A and B are shown apart, each in its own frame.
Chain A
């Protein structure tokens, strides 16, 4: 899995994982979100466009990131999950705590 990150608007960070978000890669996503928030950007969107598969380790990393962002006064939102990711979010009730947006650009409003 590869990650890219950047800023899509003032103070809003975007993290883009590509590949499988599983026990192999979840730790790196967790670290990337932690360092992003520590760097002063606590409003984060994880763009899941490139994520082909997620497991419960990947969900754990997203929840960890959500808590990290909220503790810093921000939030974590997710965008553009595929069918498998949406299924896992629904079955684990994670869609109740992780709002899903159509795209990273619209996750915090106008984009």
Chain B
């Protein structure tokens, strides 16, 4: 297993929110000059969607605790997010975008359009998410 440069964040929502994830990514980009602007925009958009999805949908009323690790490899960038929320409920089946006037339902399809891999697993009381984008592919 190869290894890259890791950035890790433990967060509790509330009070943390997706702006906390933006702050972590700011640190990642500052330390990863080789990652292109296109890769940054695509990966940040995907990760914010994922974190927002977890914060919004996994909270059963007691908040959600998450551990987020972003790792920059030579050929790809990955994020691994584990959370204590309700089991993830979404469909990885490519379903495309919802009706054009729908006000929700674009998050997961948007992630799928921006990264090469999106994985979900449930382990014990944790949801485990992973997204990965190959660098320099856009």
Q: Which residues of A contact B (CB under 8 A)?
A: 20, 22-24, 53, 55-57, 59-61, 63-64, 66-67, 83-84, 87-88, 91-94, 96-97
Contacts and interface: CB of A to CB of B under 8 A. Distances in A.
A23 B17 CA distance: 9
Interface string B101-133: 111101101100110000000000000000000
Contacts of B28: none
Interface residues of B, number: 25
B17 A55 contact: no
Nearest to A59: B106
A56 B22 contact: no
Contact of B114 (A23, A61, A66, A91): A91
B18 A87 contact: no
17 contacts: A22-B19, A23-B55, A53-B48, A55-B52, A56-B52, A57-B52, A60-B106, A63-B101, A64-B103, A67-B101, A83-B41, A84-B44, A87-B41, A91-B110, A94-B100, A96-B100, A97-B100
Given A22-B19, A23-B18, A83-B41, 14 more contacts: A20-B22, A23-B17, A23-B56, A55-B18, A55-B107, A60-B104, A61-B103, A63-B101, A84-B45, A87-B42, A88-B45, A91-B114, A92-B109, A97-B100
A64 B114 CA distance: 24
Given A23-B52, A91-B113, A92-B109, A56 B104 contact: yes
Contacts of A67: 101
Interface of B: 17-19, 22, 41-42, 44-45, 48-49, 52, 55-56, 97, 100-104, 106-107, 109-110, 113-114
A56 B106 contact: yes
Given A55-B45, A55-B48, A92-B110, A63 B102 contact: yes
* B interface SS class: helix
A106 B21 CA distance: 35
Nearest to B96: A93
A79 B22 CA distance: 24
Nearest to B104: A60
B49 A55 contact: yes
Contacts of A64: 103
